[in-house]
Structure 1
């Protein structure tokens, strides 16, 4: 269920970013209200995710996949340019997200050093 929450956080973040584009700098009321709703929802679901997934992994997946999806939406819906460098960069983001997930799932050993108030 935790991965469902993370997927919802990503989708809400992408919807919020689309609403941000449509709000024209908060000059249009409805997209501005929708923007606040979607970003609030995204943070709500991300917070639920953080109960079970390390913040480093959850945030990397949330932000990385958000970047990938909003790039695709920008290309398909807003006629933004897609270059070879953008495609390579998206590939690197996806590789990083996959790597973090593989590391998270493959290593359950004790961390080398854990200090601070959030042990």
Structure 2
């Protein structure tokens, strides 16, 4: 259980750092001024809260389903995290939105990799499907 909680926290923190960095770059590429420290802190707290909630709900479901079915691997986890991105990807109609979706795919792979790395010791034992 300790590894699962650590995976939840670390993957949420990794997403937050990557997301905030990307948003600062995205805004500055449009000519926006460098955000203040307070604005970066607020964005970081909001992103961290959202990441913790999503990881608790969606990440928990992914963990439960994949471990119970015996499919816990980096490939199935990456697929599970990329699946929502592909559904959203359907509505892209500009090159700028496509670049944004590439970032979301990177975020999904980052979260999947961190989750797999920290939670993998939890699932080394045999699970009973019944």
**Structure showing greater relative contact order (alpha-carbon pairs closer than 8 Å, 6 or more residues apart):** 2
Structure with higher helix content? 2
TM-score normalised by length of structure 1: 0.32
TM-score where L is the length of structure 2: 0.30
